[in-house]
Amino acid sequence: MSERTAVCPGSYDPVTNGHLDIIGRAANVFDRVVVGVVGNQFRKQPPLFTPEERKVFLEDATADLGNVEVEIFRELLVEFARSKGATAVVKGLRAISDFEFEFEMAQLNRLLDASVESIYIIASPAYSFLSSTGVKEMATFGGDVSELVPAPVAAALTERLSDR
Ligand code: PNS
């Protein structure tokens, strides 16, 4: 059977332990996982970290996973998936509140290319509340985020947000 590749796309601004839970679980199910860091966000605030910085955080945090690679993408997600030979897009679902956005994304992506399947992994309970936005807010006001993100990310958040 041919190699099964999935893309795990996201803003990852920055990567959290919740993202890493989903990426790791996707890597258990697929032969190869390409983490796609979006380089040109459309619906969100300007990011705190550059795509290159976000990519390095992810590479560092997934270095122990032999079948995971990280790339920045600036095209449509389905085009990125096709260029990687991926048959699936895998994302995490935390709560009902995620559903509406993910439902729209999955339907738009299906319209663009029905051969790329959207697959959702339910977040582990320990991470069901965790978001990059929440982590950034905590760090902005001096909260300890060391249990929520990899150590280099926690350090970078402190440094980046300390002058705000
Ligand atoms: O972590 P996020 O912010 O939920 O990730 C959103 C992401 C990157 C998956 C989404 O914005 C995306 O796919 N962007 C690329 C453009 C695209 O293909 N959009 C969906 C169809 S219009």
Ligand 1 pocket check for 74: Cβ under 6 Å = no
What are 112-131's pLDDT values in tens digits?
999 999 999 999 999 999 99
User: Which contacts of 132-138 are long-range, i.e. CB under 8 A and separated by 24 or more positions?
Assistant: 132/11, 132/12, 132/13, 132/14, 132/15, 132/16, 135/14, 135/16, 136/13, 136/14, 136/48, 136/161
What are 3-23's pLDDT values in tens digits?
999 999 999 999 999 999 999
pTM: 0.97
Residue having the nearest C-alpha atom to atom 13 of ligand 1: 77
